[in-house]
Amino acid sequence: MAGPFVYIGTYKIKEGKLEVAKRSLRRLVEVVEGQEPRLIAFNVYFNEAGTTVGIVQVHPDPASMETHMKVISEHVSDAFSYLDTEVSEQVYGAPSDALAAMLRAYADPNAVTTLLPLHEAGFTRAAFD
């Protein structure tokens, strides 16, 4: 049973760069929303101290995540102006070989990576209040 493809990345923010990170990520969300109609959810969360950001993505399938990686590729260099290191990466669903290569290319080698490729059960709601 194939479920959605979910990616969660957690990153440290460079000292003094919280406002830059917030502005840049709001712009990125606008780009993603406008260019990726298949993407189910794309959400950015900060910790209360403003030192860590998490990005949660829910895609209908790995192909949607591949599209996402291509869309954001021109924005990745900007992220290094405010992101320090990747803390962790969680991947739920089986990435294609091409997507796995893309994820490896961007991954911090010191980040904790969790890959859970086998979807056993669950559901996705189309909308909520």
Convert the pLDDT of each residue in 8-21 to its tens digit: 999 999 999 999 99
DSSP string, 46-79: E-TTSSEEEEEEEESSHHHHHHHHHHHTTTHHHH
**Distance in angstroms (rounded) separating the CA atoms of residues 38 and 69:** 13
Domain residue spans of the chain: 5-116
User: How far, in Å, CA of 9 to CA of 88, rounded?
Assistant: 6
In 3D space, the residue among 97, 108, 95 whose CA is nearest the CA of residue 5 turns out to be 95
Q: Is the pTM of this model over 0.95?
A: no
Q: How confident is the model at residue 54 (pLDDT cuts 50, 70, 90)?
A: very high
Q: What is the pLDDT of residue 118?
A: 95
CA angle 68, 108, 56 (to 5 degrees): 40
C-alpha neighbours within 13 Å on the C-beta side of residue 96: 11
Convert the pLDDT of each residue in 66-123 to its tens digit.
999 999 988 887 888 999 999 999 999 999 999 999 999 888 899 999 999 999 999 8
**Do the beta carbons of residue 10 and residue 88 sit within 8 Å?**
yes
CATH 3.40.50.1970 fits domain 5-116 = no
Number of H helices, E strands in the chain: 4, 5
- DSSP-based three-state secondary structure for 92: strand
